[in-house]
Amino acid sequence: MSAHRCGLVAVVGRPNVGKSTLVNAVMGRKVSIVTAKPQTTRHRILAVHSGANEQIIFVDTPGLHRNAGKAMNRLMNRTAASALADADLVLFVSDATNWTAEDDDVLKRLKSCSAPVIALLNKVDKVHPKEKLFDALGLMSARYSFEEIVPISAQKHDNLDQLMKMIPAYLPESPPLFPDDMHTDRGDEFHAAETIREKLTLLLHQELPYGLTVQIERFQTEDSGATINAMIWVERDSQKGIVVGKNGSVLKKVGRAARLEIAEQLGCPVHLELWVKVKSNWADNEKDLMNLGYDAP
| H/E segment holding residue 86 | helix 71-86
89-95 vs 117-122, strand pairing mode = parallel
How far is CA 15 from each of CA 105, 132, 249, rounded to the nearest angstrom? 12, 23, 30
* 237 is a domain residue: yes
* 177 is a domain residue: no
DSSP state of 235: S
Q: Is the pLDDT of residue 267 over 80?
A: yes
Task: Decide: 164 and 154 in contact? Cβ < 8 Å.
Answer: no
Q: Please indicate, yes or no, whether residues 59 and 126 belong to a single structural domain of this protein.
A: yes
Q: How far apart are CA 238 and CA 154, in angstroms?
A: 37
Instruction: Render pLDDT for 206-254 as a digit per residue (tens, 0 to 9).
Output: 667 678 999 999 999 999 999 999 999 999 999 999 999 999 999 999 9
CATH of the domain at 255: 3.30.300.20
CB atoms inside a 10 Å sphere around CB 126: 13
Q: Please indicate, yes or no, whether residues 163 and 192 belong to a single structural domain of this protein.
A: no
Q: Please indicate, yes or no, whether residues 90 and 211 belong to a single structural domain of this protein.
A: no
* 155 is a domain residue: yes
How confident is the prediction for the chain on average, in pLDDT? 93
Q: Please indicate, yes or no, whether residues 132 and 89 belong to a single structural domain of this protein.
A: yes
What total of structural domains would you count in the chain? 2
Task: Decide: 97 and 133 in contact? Cβ < 8 Å.
Answer: no
Q: Where are the alpha helices (DSSP H) in 87-129?
A: 101-110
Range of the domain at 217: 188-291
Q: Please indicate, yes or no, whether residues 20 and 156 belong to a single structural domain of this protein.
A: yes
Instruction: Render pLDDT for 44-95 as a digit per residue (tens, 0 to 9).
Output: 999 999 999 999 999 998 888 776 678 998 888 888 888 888 999 999 999 9
Q: How far apart are CA 23 and CA 135, in angstroms?
A: 26
